Every structure is written in structure tokens, then in C-alpha cells.
Structure 1
């Protein structure tokens, strides 16, 4: 493999081994074992990646983390005026509700996670910024899709429609029906779809000045059968959404209180 291919293989290890923020990092041995390269080659490769800002090495543990160059590039890519505006609100909301919060945008048939806000409720699995998920199989994706007409949604999903989760809309017809429900309430709900044991409540915001739509959501452990969504989650999410809508002139949320 070329040096570029080897460097890409190293970066993919971070995803493969689920090394995220707060994780100690990737070791020299991890790279040697997974890339099946001579130690001398790995040593030169990691040194070059570190010199170029692609990796950083902890001086004490000697473990590698993603470098400032890649973080800077990704932060710009995962940034948009509406995302930046909504972030402080979602930070506070996640702390108040103890839920993990997300801001996402639509990318084709997928949603891309732009920001993640850790809550105090322990979730074994979280979805980091930069992740892509099927829009039709997520509450936040359906909240965004509900802002489009049925014809626009049909065009976006033209061709083969497939749902991996047993709890997701199994056909385009069912998806359109679910979107109609979201348009009535402004709120989208997913229960055990992307992840078993996890429920998500989502809304969407439109910035008409820049033609941007983002989804806002809170994730939390799924309520026991017959139980309601924990108190404060729905009201808190709607309150934050209305505050943002007022700033942006999003008339979709100019509804009487309580609707």
C-alpha cells in the first residue's frame, strides 16, 4: 500500500476500535498488529502523521489521538450558522434533561450528526459527530424530512427503499404516513429503531435566510412498556425549538402554546 493508504488505514482504526473523545488512544502495537506492517515502517508512518498534525501522541502514555489538523478541518465541515446558533441551547437542554442531545443535517438519504451533547443519563452507546445514519430510520431524520413535501420525499427516495430496523417505517408509503403525523405535532419519536433500548424525540428548525434545516433531538433509555416519556423531555425540547424559531422567524413553530 502507498503511504496515503497506510495513513488512511491508521485513521480507520480509530473508528474500528471505537476510540472517541475521552478514550486513552491508539497504541503503536495496535497499528502494527492491524496493518501487518514492519515496525520500522509503522514508526516512520506515525512520526510523519504526527509531524503533519494528523495525529498527536500523549507524552506519558505514548498513545495516539486524532491531531489538531483533522479536528480543525472536521470542525469547519461540521459547522453551519444554524448549528452554531442551536448548540448553546442544546448544551443547556441536555444538562437539564440529563439526556444525550444531537444536532443533525440531511445529507441525501442520510442524516449527518453535526454535534453531540452528552447528558448525565448513562447511555452505553452514543453516536459521535460526523456519523451518518439513514434519515428514514431516525426520529431526527424524519423531523427534517417532514419539512419537505411528499413529492420531494418520493424523489429523494426514488429507487429501492430499504429499512434495516424492524421498528422503522417498512415502506415509503408508511414513511409518508409517519411524516404526516410529524407535521401535525412538530415532534418525531423513535423507539428502539437505531439502537435497542434507546428512544429519541426530535424536532426541526428552518433558517429561511440561509435555506438551512437542522434537526434537534434528545436520546434516552426507552421507557418500560406502558410508561410515558420521562417528564420534561418533550416540553424542554419544544421550548428550545420555539425559542430558536422565534429568533429565525420559522413560522412553522408559530403555534398556540400547548400545540
Structure 2
């Protein structure tokens, strides 16, 4: 392997061994065993990584930890607001699928549209940024609610549960059952709920470093068969969500 590949293997070893902040660190022998290289080669590799700020070595234990350079870069990335971090991905997915893309956040029992990316030909009716919609009557709202426990959802609707759409879960018990299905599948589907003739498919993602959760959504004309969900739309939004989740360490998807 190249030096870059070896350095990458060393960094992956931190995740493989579950080494987090507060852990003593990675030993020289751990790296030798993982890479299967001569000790002299590993010694030079670790020294270079330490010099470049990729690793730090405890002067007493002689164990290796993640270096300041990596921490600084990752901290900058993880501090980005989640709406901004997800926007380029949903914008590109909207272009690829020709669906209208949305990013929303939960506001009480509603969801607020934070970003909207118009599709090319699939949809002419759009919900602009700043709009509020009932969370229980939208795919994106239910995708976010599914990240909460049943008790948290019950507490959110303690003043009463009411919906306007006949196609939405009609009772709190029905909503909880729907959320359980979403947790199993990872995605949420709404057909002819807030708008007749319009269907939406949504996922949710969290950044635990900022304590933020957003919903990602694609909107498109309802299929003739209400259960006939376009596979390319489902696969596209799930793939994008997993891609962002991997970067943020969102264990819900990992």
C-alpha cells in the first residue's frame, strides 16, 4: 500500500477499536498488527503522521491519539448548521430526480420549511421556505417525529391530537404505529395528504454535535397506485441521507 493508504488504515483503526475522546489511545503494536508491516516502516509512518498533525503521542503512555489538525478540520465541518450542510445534497438530488426537494425542521407540532429546491418538470405546486405544516400530516414531519421516543411524541400531543387530512393517521395510536414502521424502514411516505395529487418521501438526519435534526424530502405527483412508490426516488433520498449521516456519525443510519 502507499503511504497515504497506510495512514488511512491507521485512522480507520481508531473507529474499529472504538477509541473515542477520553480513551487512552492506540498503541504502536496495534498499528503493527493491523498493517502487517515491519516495525521500522510503521515507526516512520507514525512519526510522519505526528509531525503533520494527524496524530498526537502521549509522552507518558506513548499511545497515539487523533491530532490537532484532524480535530480542527472535523470541528469546523461538524459546526456547520445542518440545514446548510444538507442543502447541496438535496439540491443535486432534486435536479437528478426532477422532484421538488425540501429541508424542514420541527417546530412544536408543525414542521417549518427551511429550504426549497424546485424540480424541473415533476411538480409545479411548491411550498416556500418559512411555511408551517402539521408534522403528523406530512412525510417529512413524521420522519422527524420517528427519531423521538413514543413518550416524547405523546407528550408533544398532550393537549390533543387532530388532523385535517383523511389520509393521515387519524388517532395518536395510529400515528405511533406509523412512526414504528418508519423506524424500521428509515423513510416516510405521504400520499395525497396536505395536497391532493401530491406525494412526498422523506428521511431525517441528526447532528448530535449541534443537537439538530432536520427532515429531507422529495415531492412528486402521486402515483396511480398509492402504494407504487418510485424506486429511484426512494433509493436516491436514502443514499443521500446515508452519505451525510456517515460524515456526521448519525448512528440512526450507521
Cα separation, 1, equivalents of 2:239 and 2:226 = 25
Q: Which residue of 2 aligns with 1:53?
A: none
Instruction: Tell me how far 1:159 sits from its aligned partner.
Output: 1.5
Instruction: Tell me how far 1:122 sits from its aligned partner.
Output: 3.9
| Superimposed CA distance per residue, residues 79-128 of structure 1 (whole angstroms, 9 cap, x where no aligned partner) | x7000000000000000001000000000000000000111124232100
Instruction: Tell me how far 1:226 sits from its aligned partner.
Output: 6.4
Cα separation, 1, equivalents of 2:179 and 2:226 = 24
Q: After the TM superposition, which residues 37-186 of structure 1 pair with which residues of structure 2 at under 5 Å, given as runs?
A: 81-186=81-186
Structure 2 SS opposite 1:170: coil
Instruction: Tell me how far 1:174 sits from its aligned partner.
Output: 0.3
Q: Which residue of 2 aligns with 1:56?
A: none
Cα separation, 1, equivalents of 2:108 and 2:221 = 28
| Superimposed CA distance per residue, residues 15-71 of structure 1 (whole angstroms, 9 cap, x where no aligned partner) | xxxxxxxxxxxxxxxxxxxxxxxxxxxxxxxxxxxxxxxxxxxxxxxxxxxxxxxxx
Structure 2 SS opposite 1:101: strand
Structure 2 SS opposite 1:148: coil
Q: Is this contact kept in 2: 1:100–1:121, CA < 8 A?
A: no
Cα separation, 2, equivalents of 1:84 and 1:191 = 28
Q: Which residue of 1 aligns with 2:187?
A: 187
Q: Is this contact kept in 1: 2:189–2:199, CA < 8 A?
A: yes
TM-score (norm: length of structure 2): 0.67
Q: Does 1:237 align with 2:240?
A: no
Q: Which 10-residue stretch deviates more, 225-234 or 136-145?
A: 225-234
Structure 1 unaligned spans of 5+: 1-79, 255-259
Matched pairs, number: 175
Cα separation, 2, equivalents of 1:201 and 1:164 = 20
With over 3 angstroms needed to count, the CA separation of the structure-2 counterparts of 1:226 and 1:146, relative to structure 1, is closer
Instruction: Tell me how far 1:229 sits from its aligned partner.
Output: 2.1
Cα separation, 2, equivalents of 1:127 and 1:157 = 25
Cα separation, 1, equivalents of 2:228 and 2:158 = 36
Cα separation, 1, equivalents of 2:226 and 2:192 = 14
Cα separation, 2, equivalents of 1:180 and 1:172 = 12
With over 3 angstroms needed to count, the CA separation of the structure-2 counterparts of 1:89 and 1:108, relative to structure 1, is same
Q: Which residue of 2 aligns with 1:50?
A: none
Instruction: Tell me how far 1:232 sits from its aligned partner.
Output: 1.1
Structure 1 SS opposite 2:252: helix
Structure 2 SS opposite 1:232: helix
TM-score (norm: length of structure 1): 0.66
